[in-house]
Amino acid sequence: MEIFDSHAHYDDEAFDVDREELLRRLPSAGITGILNAGVTVSSSKECIRLAEKFDFCHAAVGIHPEDVMEAQPNDLETIKELAASCSVVAIGEIGLDYHWDVPHDIQKQFFAKQLELANALHLPVIVHDRDAHADTLAMLQKYHPCGVVHSYSGSVETARELLKLGLYLGFTGAVTFKNNKKARGILEMVPHDRVLCETDCPYMAPEPVRGRRSDSSMLPHTLARIGEFMGISVEEAARITACNARTLFSINKREMPK
């Protein structure tokens, strides 16, 4: 199986104890690509460092909506500079999160500026949308970037609108949880060339390892469920989602580890 983890946070402190050892082992578990998404300037720099060290790792740079209050005035300028690195394939993780008490207008300003940056650089975006479906959709309709709404948690109707914009939808281990009816409905209708598979590690470990620190080697559980809902085998789900990630992020096959 060829597995591409389209959204990971191996820069997270949860991996401080064994980060590089773990990453070195992942190709033997079938992992041929990982996209680490930055959430702050320093996290974005670490994503780039990992991409420079490991052939199969790639980087996205950006400021996450939960981190905008701590951002420094020139951080967006720094993100723009970091985006010029050849290991950077996307702007992210950016978006809106209304679950926490972070002022919506400031989140929207950061989201808008980073959408403009992605469009100016012709890079796809990795969008985070938590409890902010209507505003996220409106911003995406306004700026019309290419990219993915990761860990998709909205309705079938919103999914249809996002697909109309040409966007991809990313699915995590949450598709294996008991209350996954919504994900089933979306995966039953989504075109096969618009689905990505991701860990969002260290979070969202799939059943039957739910609750543990997640990593890319757990993706076969997630892919099995994605395949079940799409009516295809786990191998086919792995192949399709890897191919889609390589297409969206313009990552060539020849960069795959030997």
Question: Which residues inside 87-146 make contact with Zn ion, applying CB under 5 A?
Answer: 93
User: Nearer Cβ to Zn ion, position 5 or 200?
Assistant: 200
User: Nearer Cβ to Zn ion, position 91 or 234?
Assistant: 91
Size of the site for Zn ion (CB under 5 A): 2
Q: In whole angstroms, how close is the CB of 64 to Zn ion at the nearest point? A: 7
- C-alpha span between 42 and 40 (Å, rounded): 6
User: Nearer Cβ to Zn ion, position 94 or 234?
Assistant: 94
Q: In whole angstroms, how close is the CB of 126 to Zn ion at the nearest point? A: 8
Question: Which residues inside 178-217 make contact with Zn ion, applying CB under 5 A?
Answer: 200
Length of the chain: 258
User: Nearer Cβ to Zn ion, position 9 or 234?
Assistant: 9
Neighbouring-strand partners of residue 127 = 94, 149
Residue 32's closest CA among 185, 175, 241? 241
Torsion, CA 204, CA 164, CA 167, CA 118, rounded to 10: -130
Q: In whole angstroms, how close is the CB of 128 to Zn ion at the nearest point? A: 6
Q: In whole angstroms, how close is the CB of 231 to Zn ion at the nearest point? A: 28
For residue 242, the SS3 value is helix
For residue 96, the SS3 value is strand
List contacts with Zn ion (CB under 5 A). Answer: 93, 200
